[in-house]
Structure 1
Amino acid sequence: MKRNTYILTLLAIACIAFASCKKFLEKEPIGKTGKITLFETVEGANKAMSGVYNLMLSYYKTSFGLYADIASDNVIRGNKANVLLPQFNFQSAASDDALAVGDIWLNGYGAINNINNIINAIPELKSKFPSQTKTLDSIYGQSLALRALCHLNLSLVYAQPYNYTTDASHLGIPVVLKTPNPGEAVARKTMKETYAQIITDLSNALPLLQQYANHTTQAAMSYQAALALLSRVYLYKGDWEQCINYANLAINDVNYKLASNSEYLSVFNTYPADNATTKLESIFLLSNKGLTSNGSSIYTVYSDAAGAQYSTAAKLTNFFDSDDIRLTKMFTIPLSGDNAGKSLTKKYGDGTVTSITPQVIQVIRLSEVYLNRAEAKWNLQRYTEAAEDLRIISQRAHPSRTITIAYSSNDDLYKQIANERSRELCFENHRFFDLARRKENLQRSADCNANTCGFIYPNSRYVLPIPAKEIDANKSIIQNPAYTN
């Protein structure tokens, strides 16, 4: 008997976890393949989008959102650490279907599956409800941009970075634009093809989202978020001119601004007011508003004094000056419990997971876009301009003195930009991916308590294995090297 690919045999049931999905998805058998009959109203389309954002939050606050910091040199584990412990120790196995290896794959493609259901339903809805074309175009634009983000995230975890080969001909991930038929094999695209689809989706989303350029909430994909995301994509691709172009569009938007030094902590512990005239720092965030946290969520794992499983490595804290507000305001040291004397980030709570309600997860912040632009300018030998972008982010973090960027060489400036990125974006799921795309070695600090404290680039451990169930069910899938036995 034919089997569906693991991607979508399991993903087709992903909506069951969300009540909002139950109401607008139902199965209607047609022949042997069956068909998912989507919603028949615009209200149903809006509920579908809510279900997608819930799915996105689900995987951002668990395995995916934790991965790039736990696998990096930013953390050390506590005595009771079990969340992503194989990834911390670099002992991932293809058979870890129930752990992060399978979880990131399943949830990432689960979100893509639901997004594709929306995309494929929009043309018929526009035909039925021509007076609501703008609303449906916004939903369609959000869906395209979110699909691009999901494909990008999966490629960061399961494929070597874009520049791993000179022409990006190495394996990327399966690019899924519609639900495969039962038994249909879905092969991995090259990384060049993967990024081409990501860029196509974002480019197609822009004109649809532009009609809502001043989106009412930062907890939804907007025109500005798609611009900022394109700056990230082009940074990872190494297309420096395009990275700068899209970064400029996001940075120059008068509706968004960097938080001041006094406002900085609020970016992480306050849900931004909807319909704000000027949006502070957050270009796109996810929120657990109305939801509850759990023991394996990002909030508990990093920021709960009693339950945190990972604390800050000395290498990271040593990156900061003593008067840097990101050190003085964004870390806490519990006085008692298992984490007594250890440094915990306050980005997800001030000692307890209930101290911030609702909790937020920053997906794209304006400061990242400045740092994207700084790195791209450096690569184009526009060193003075790169230093100015770096100065803007550093000055915000040092309100008590005037910052000037001095560098002994161009390579020294590059190192300063990389270190600033580590300081600014720590615990926001960037560090390990940054090391990989910059082709840097992993070298944890002297307090490392992992089984592996470093390795040289290039290395097969910069990617996770494709889950074994996917390999078994989808004969077109090629496993990543080092995980084939």
Structure 2
Amino acid sequence: MFRYVRYSFIIILFCLASCQQVLEPKPVNLLVDELVLNEPNDVEPVRIGMYSALRGTAAPTVIAGDFTADHIQHNGTFTDYRELGTKQITAANAAVGLLWQSLFRTIYVANFMLEKLPDVAGVREARRKEILAEARFIRGYANFIGTNTFGDFPLVTTTVQATNRTIGRSPKAQVLASVLADFQAALTDLPNVEAGSTNALTNAAYINKVSCRAMLARYYLYQRNWAQAEQLATQVISSGVYTLQTSFADVIVKDFNNESIIEVGYSVTDDPQTSTSLFPNGLSLNNLLVGRREVIPSNQLVVSLVSAEAGTRRQTISFSTQNLRGNDNGWTVEKYGLALEDNNNIALIRLAEMHLIRAEARAQQGRLTGANGAVADLNVLRTRAKAPAIALTAQAEVLLAVERERIYELAFEGHRWYDLVRTGRAQVVMSSFSPNWNSRFELWPIPQSEIQQNPTIRTQQNPGY
């Protein structure tokens, strides 16, 4: 798995002086021999390398979360996307390999920082703790995505290549325990950010205590620990650091808006919409969704998003008669623009998700109505979207309403497939969507390239692949 990072890493300097400016220097070797991270001046480039690696996981996770599920239909010619669109996924799918590769690149850089930074003299202790906390969070995030995508997942805690080249898969429960430990350790030492802070760019681009709590809220939701999920989501909402945009359109057209809790930023030179090296078949995300239209919003999703129930969230997609030809339904995803546009970033977490997490957690605990009930949180988002308020009183109906709201609010942000799997709804929903759906698709396969090169994993492929 570490053949991609065996000798070097590209460190991309991510300058937060402007949300439009991200500098990309020449590749810098990250050899595991203390030649790079051995003095204070080395720390910041490696730190930015961690964020760059995290950024590399964002688009592949959107592909996993939305393309595996019922949000897209295939409309082009490439096999990788046909497999995702027609639900005939194979271990050779390049998108599968891309996510695997990006996750382990992220874990590698985080481990590098965790191993080397404690021994670098001359770094202020408070700063050292903050950066190590960032590394713990970023490693935990990558493992969270990895184990929820692939199931049992290699738990890599070292940069020793001889160990990593033959490491096997660890049980999902063990990986998740490691994720929780990383998040909790990070929470202790991450910097705080106060309510009323107006620097939306800094608040979203770098991890802080509030954004760590947001990720913990998602973690506990997936673990069905409803009380903890509700508590942490409430802490994030009540912090006042992040606020819902008045107009849902701003979520689509503005990078680093006020409700982005964690967002990864790009420039013209490294934007996944323009960089052909980041995607299977040389395609970029924007070209995939807009230019070549390899995949398009599914007819089922279109019906949901253009309904009155979605309100202004119909702006997630747009229609053009010029695209109507063959099987093309004419609809296009609007959430990710070109590099020169102000919506080329990817939000990993935003405040709307916290309301949805709290609504689901409260509904699961039987608290449905009133100021502290699930319906109140749903109506906060519906009011923002100018959709009619709902007044439901049955738990099953409220939980289905939460599922629908997550479609309206979070479409093409990488959640749908993960939501269906974690709620046990994948088989029911997806079998009615596609005759090719099989329960094995509740996990992605281990990439065929990894099966071939790692002798330990060779016999550990997910069932059915």
TM-score w.r.t. the length of structure 1 is 0.81
Choose which of 65, 70, 74 in structure 1 pairs with 2:62. Answer: 65
Superposed, 1:12-411 pairs within 5 Å as: 12-13=6-7, 15-16=9-10, 22-23=27-28, 25-26=30-31, 35=33, 37-61=35-59, 63-80=60-77, 82-96=79-93, 99-125=94-120, 128-130=121-123, 132-159=124-151, 172-182=152-162, 185-211=166-192, 216-261=202-247, 264-272=248-256, 280-290=258-268, 291-292=270-271, 293-294=273-274, 296-302=283-289, 304=290, 306-320=291-305, 321-322=307-308, 324-337=310-323, 342-349=330-337, 353-354=338-339, 356-357=341-342, 359-384=344-369, 385-398=373-386, 403=389, 405-407=390-392, 409-411=394-396
Q: Secondary structure at the match of 1:249?
A: helix
Q: Distance in 2 between matches of 1:65 and 1:219?
A: 18
Change in Cα spacing, 1:193 to 1:444, as seen in structure 2 (3 Å) is closer
Deviates more, 1:415-424 or 1:293-302: 293-302
Change in Cα spacing, 1:469 to 1:312, as seen in structure 2 (3 Å) is closer
Q: Distance in 2 between matches of 1:105 and 1:198?
A: 17
The alignment yields a C-alpha RMSD, in angstroms, of 2.6
Change in Cα spacing, 1:468 to 1:80, as seen in structure 2 (3 Å) is closer
Change in Cα spacing, 1:323 to 1:244, as seen in structure 2 (3 Å) is closer
Give the count of matched residue pairs: 430
Asked if the contact 1:267/1:280 (under 8 Å) is kept, the reply is no
Asked if the contact 2:252/2:316 (under 8 Å) is kept, the reply is no
Look up the match of 2:4: 10
Q: Which stretches in structure 1 are left out of the alignment for 5+ residues?
A: 1-6, 28-34, 160-171, 273-278
Q: Distance in 2 between matches of 1:153 and 1:244?
A: 21
Q: Distance in 2 between matches of 1:73 and 1:414?
A: 19
More helix by share: 2
- What displacement does 1:9 show? 3.2
Q: Distance in 2 between matches of 1:80 and 1:338?
A: 17
Equivalent residue letter for 1:397: A
Note the alpha carbon deviations across 1:341-382, whole angstroms, 9 max, x for none.
512121113xxx356246110100110111011111111111
User: Kindly, what percent of the aligned residue pairs are identical?
Assistant: 21
Choose which of 441, 444, 452 in structure 2 pairs with 1:464. Answer: 444
Change in Cα spacing, 1:462 to 1:248, as seen in structure 2 (3 Å) is same
Q: Distance in 1 between matches of 2:249 and 2:431?
A: 27
